[in-house]
Amino acid sequence: MRISVTRRILTGNLPELFGVYREGIRMKMRRFAAVGAMAAAVLLTFQLPGASAGQLGRGDQAQPVDQSLRALGNRHDLRIGTAVDMAALASDTTYRERIAKEFSTVTPENVMKWETIEPSPGSFDFSAADQLVNFARQNGQQVRGHTLLWHNQLPTWLTDGVANGSITADRLRTILRDHIFAEAGHFRGKIWQWDVVNEAINDDGTMRDTIWLQKLGPGYIADAFRWAHQADPHALLFYNDYNIEFTGAKHDTAVALVKSLKAQGVPIHGVGLQGHLGLQYGLPDAPTLAANLKHFTDTGLAVAWTEVDVRMPLPNDVYKSQAQAQGYSIVAQACLLNPRCLSLTVWGYTDKYSWIPGWFTDPPQGAANLLDENYQAKPAYQAMRTVLALSTGPHKRS
């Protein structure tokens, strides 16, 4: 399986990135016990908009917990999605069936990235991505396109050409424009959300020193959004990055970036917060995460959790599993607390095909997903269902 090499949390000032953050929002709190044998230990301390005392158990509010994530998310107008490994989709019947049942959106792990889509100059291969789009259509699912512009998983003809000078800055701009028009145009009307620009900001808040910034200057981000909108005016266009859900320099730069794009009239519609969490760094609380999401929605944009997983040092045990469940529930709570949070996508739903053990090896980490390698539900899965089922609603997303 091809693993994306930047599906990672970069190290830096870990207390700053993952510590307990004090800026937040005041809200009423309510504690309720999770339902179900595995979820009983997960205690949630929040009250969603519109809830009042006594509503939790009402038949017109709470829902049976034993529904799919897809069904439970629908009552909040919230799409619950997963990243998809295309090799597993083709070969593993259980994997395929669970995706169809549990999720209302799908995201390609790798098959919409540049090295796959345009392996040689001007030669495009949409076959694998088309298979995913067709699967989604057959199962009534939306597609998140990932990603039009990134600094990794680029074809060697492009990176080598820039390095040796055979691709000039003017030529690179034309290549980028043509690629975006070709890919976004090919999927015109079939993609709900595009991650147009991915991971353009460093942990310290500076702009990442990529070939795009070096050769095209900072305006390349606005250009990418304009070209994507021209190619597909129906798609919602997102800036996507990791660690911007935590306060700090990177978060501040991301807020400033999208404000600047909005001020320029650039067609940007949302911000994707990846949501890669690690138990060893501690977990934030739901009100703090909700407050940080609000920093983005206050600019007039939507938000989405785009790549959520909660990894742990191996081996797993009952205590880590319960802590992981709390991590997933916190992310779901933060989304439900913001009416402009449109979707929550997990980066893979079963440990059988997780990218994490292949990347985090010293010390070994993994067990980051909702289901184990045998497709058995973990406390995290039950906690997600509990949040979606017992939160009062439904809540209209906007």
Whether residue 177 has pLDDT greater than 80: yes
pLDDT per residue as tens digits for the range 119-142? 999 999 999 999 999 999 999 999
Q: How does strand 270-273 pair with strand 193-198?
A: unpaired
pLDDT per residue as tens digits for the range 254-301? 999 999 999 999 999 999 999 999 999 999 999 999 999 999 999 999
pLDDT per residue as tens digits for the range 22-55? 233 222 222 222 323 333 333 333 333 333 322 2
| pLDDT of the residue at 397 | 80
Q: Which uninterrupted H or E stretch holds 194? A: strand 193-198
Query: Phi-psi region for residue 130, left (φ > 0), alpha (ψ -120 to 50) or beta?
Result: alpha
Quote the strand ranges of 205-267, DSSP E: 236-241
Backbone φ and ψ of 2, nearest 5°: -80, 125
Point out the residues that are catalytic: 199, 307
The stretch 101-117 carries a mean pLDDT of 98
Tokens of 314: 């191996």
Residue-range domains of the chain with CATH: 14-390 (3.20.20.80)
The CA distance from 314 to 382, in Å, is: 21
Query: Phi-psi region for residue 13, left (φ > 0), alpha (ψ -120 to 50) or beta?
Result: beta
| pLDDT of the residue at 394 | 53
Q: Which residue has the tokens 């320099």?
A: 249
Torsion of CA 381, 386, 389, 393, to 10 degrees: -120
Contacts (Cβ under 8 Å, ≥6 apart) of 287: 24, 25, 27, 46, 337
- Predicted TM-score (pTM) of the model is 0.86
Percentage of the chain exceeding pLDDT 70: 83
112 closest CA partner among 190, 40, 212, 16: 190
